Amino acid sequence: MRKTTLYIAMSLDGYIAQPNDDLRFLSIVQKEGEDYGYAKFNSTVDTVIMGRKTYDWVMKNATEFPHTDKQAFIITRTPKAAIGNTSFYSGSLKTLVLKLKQEKGKTIFIDGGAEVANSLMKEQLIDELIISIIPVCIGEGIRLFKDGRPWTHLQLLESRTFESGLVQLHYQCMKKD
């Protein structure tokens, strides 16, 4: 069965964005030639799931969608025609993920945002978390983890520290029965 991995960055106090979807705090760890393992992780992925708000932010701030080489599902309430390998999905997220996990393929990358991540955490459909902790407390914004998730034990697979102060934690989610 394929695994789902949430690969995301957050501030030390748990925010993935400042108010107004401001991600400038991520720039404090940008260092030429350092991708914090993203390219290696991305090579293990063939499917991406992303919320529409995250997609809109990416499309506003990037020259092109970064996952054109992968099957991508943008989770939205408003159906829209596909663009290449990118589908705009308005059905049940749980149904989609369960279907994808049964198909042959590589890792399914959960690429944000918080609504998608929390919905999948509630359904216990995230297998691994790779969370990069940015060394800053921003105080307000969009929290990665919201209340209402089931209790989930995490097994540490790896922790890495970087010269920039970023700490990356890689966990396997152990479901509570």
Count of domains for the chain? 1
Q: Which domain holds residue 116?
A: 4-175
Q: How many residues does the chain have?
A: 177
- Cα separation, 107 vs 73, in Å, equals 14
DSSP state of 45: E
pLDDT at 14 > cutoff 90:
yes
Mean pLDDT of the region 27-34: 95
CATH code where residue 12 lies: 3.40.430.10
pLDDT tens column, 66-78:
999 999 999 999 9
Q: H helices then E strands: how many in the chain?
A: 4, 11
Residue 62: pLDDT band (50, 70, 90) is confident
pLDDT of residue 175: 72
Give the integer Cα–Cα distance in Å for 132 and 151: 22
| Alpha carbons 134 and 122: distance in angstroms, whole number | 25
Q: Report pLDDT digits (tens) over 139-163.
A: 999 999 998 888 899 999 999 999 9
